[in-house]
């Protein structure tokens, strides 16, 4: 089988998360949509993040039907499904990501699982390479930062709070595989990608590397913060590569989905199969039982941990991403000013 497809089709039990609250970004379609479904079926209240209210509410309605059907036809006893709730989530500018987080804090008193799934994939219409970096790294970082106090508060009563960052093997490719890569300045993130062969792909790889490095820095910060604050339990951060997933065959221009989808499905896994990896990171008993093993790890299809590369294990580079991201976000131009 190609692209690790066989591994990605495996399934694992999840824990009952009744009474817990999860938030999945970019969940009106694709892998995020199926992740919401699986987490709701485990009993959690799940917030479905989407940047468009109409599409978000349509997704909630469709998921409510699918979840009810799955519960009614389950062959073994299952938790009573949790509620699915729309939450506006636009990461296209940091101030919008902050607003998404602030509004979440206003409406919820806990957050047990944050799944940072939303991303601009390379090749999306009207999306520049710099937009890809803004959305995937800076928007996601900003949202996570705003939600951290709520996650930390939840960790006073829940020993198993988790942050799942959806990554990709692309964080080891193209520009992101350059051993001399740096993240000191705005220019390091917002390079002139048009000099590259496939500019949006290069930006995608860099954005996902930056996010992965920031996640590793975050995990170290959370561990050291919780050691000085004994009332909290350290939050577990896991980066996940969901595999090569067919979330695109129904959007290929000029080619009908009925023709292209069966061919693509020979090589790519379904969004539902991919969601198993995200849900494993979010709610598997294995992670609960051996948190040390999973903290800061990179999970690949088949529920396996892939070792760090020389680049991703470099703590100086991890801290560089963390510190420069905080500085760049502080100085981010307001809407209407010159874009970075």
By CB under 6 A, name the binding residues for ligand NAP. 26, 28-32, 51-52, 89-92, 117-121, 135, 166, 168, 241-242, 244-245, 247, 271
Are 305 and 240 in contact by the 8 Å Cβ rule? The answer is no
Burial class (CB in 10 A: 0-12, 13-18, 19+), 250: middle
3-class secondary structure, 5: helix
Alpha-carbon span 307 to 298, nearest angstrom: 7
Name the minimum Å distance from CB 92 to ligand NAP: 4
Nearer to ligand NAP, 17 or 275 (CB): 275
Name the minimum Å distance from CB 109 to ligand NAP: 24
Nearer to ligand NAP, 117 or 152 (CB): 117
Name the minimum Å distance from CB 125 to ligand NAP: 10
Burial class (CB in 10 A: 0-12, 13-18, 19+), 176: buried
Name the minimum Å distance from CB 288 to ligand NAP: 24
Q: What CA–CA distances, in Å, run from 244 to 159, 241, 300? A: 32, 9, 11
Name the minimum Å distance from CB 124 to ligand NAP: 7
Q: What CA–CA distances, in Å, run from 166 to 99, 255, 300? A: 21, 29, 11
Name the minimum Å distance from CB 301 to ligand NAP: 10
What positions carry a catalytic annotation?
A: 167, 204, 208
Are 134 and 161 in contact by the 8 Å Cβ rule? The answer is no
Helix (H) or strand (E) holding 48: strand 45-50
Nearer to ligand NAP, 161 or 205 (CB): 205
Nearer to ligand NAP, 272 or 319 (CB): 272
Nearer to ligand NAP, 274 or 311 (CB): 274
Q: Which residue is nearest to ligand NAP (CB)?
A: 30
Quote the tokens at residue 85: 């709730």
User: How many other CB atoms are found less than 10 A from the CB of residue 307?
Assistant: 8
Q: Dump the DSSP string for 279-321.
A: HHHHH-HHHHH-HHHHTT-EEETTTEEEPPPTTTT-HHHHHHH
Nearer to ligand NAP, 43 or 94 (CB): 94
């Amino acid at each position: 089988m190609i692209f690790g497809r066989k591994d990605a089709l495996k399934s694992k039990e999840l824990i009952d998360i009744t009474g817990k609250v999860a938030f999945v970004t970019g969940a009106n379609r694709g892998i995020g949509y199926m992740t919401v479904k699986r987490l709701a079926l485990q009993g959690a209240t799940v917030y479905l993040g989407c940047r468009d209210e109409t599409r978000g509410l349509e997704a909630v309605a469709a998921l409510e039907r699918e979840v009810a059907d799955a519960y009614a036809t389950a062959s073994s006893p299952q938790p009573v499904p949790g509620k699915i709730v729309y939450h506006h989530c636009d990461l296209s500018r940091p101030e919008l990501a902050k607003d998404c987080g602030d509004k979440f804090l206003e409406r919820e008193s806990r957050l047990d699982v944050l799944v940072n799934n939303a991303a601009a994939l390379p090749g999306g219409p009207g999306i520049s390479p710099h937009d890809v970096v803004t959305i995937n790294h800076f928007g996601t970082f900003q949202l996570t930062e705003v939600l951290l106090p709520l996650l930390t508060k939840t960790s006073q009563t829940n020993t198993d709070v988790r942050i799942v960052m959806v990554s990709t093997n692309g964080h080891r490719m193209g520009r992101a595989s350059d051993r001399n890569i740096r993240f000191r300045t705005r220019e390091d993130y917002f390079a002139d990608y048009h000099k590259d062969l496939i500019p949006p792909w290069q930006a995608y790889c860099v954005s996902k590397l930056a996010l992965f490095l920031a996640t590793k820095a975050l995990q170290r910060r959370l561990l050291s913060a919780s050691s000085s604050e004994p009332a909290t339990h350290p939050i577990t951060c896991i980066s996940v590569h969901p595999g090569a997933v067919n979330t695109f065959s129904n959007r290929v221009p000029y080619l009908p989905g009925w023709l292209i989808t069966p061919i693509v499905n020979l090589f790519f896994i379904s969004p539902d199969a991919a969601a198993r990896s995200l849900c494993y990171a979010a709610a598997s008993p294995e992670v609960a039982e051996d948190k040390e093993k999973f903290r800061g790890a990179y999970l690949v299809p088949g529920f396996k941990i892939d070792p760090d590369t020389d680049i991703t294990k470099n703590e100086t580079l991890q801290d560089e991403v963390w510190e420069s991201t905080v500085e760049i976000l502080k100085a981010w131009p307001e809407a209407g000013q010159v874009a970075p």
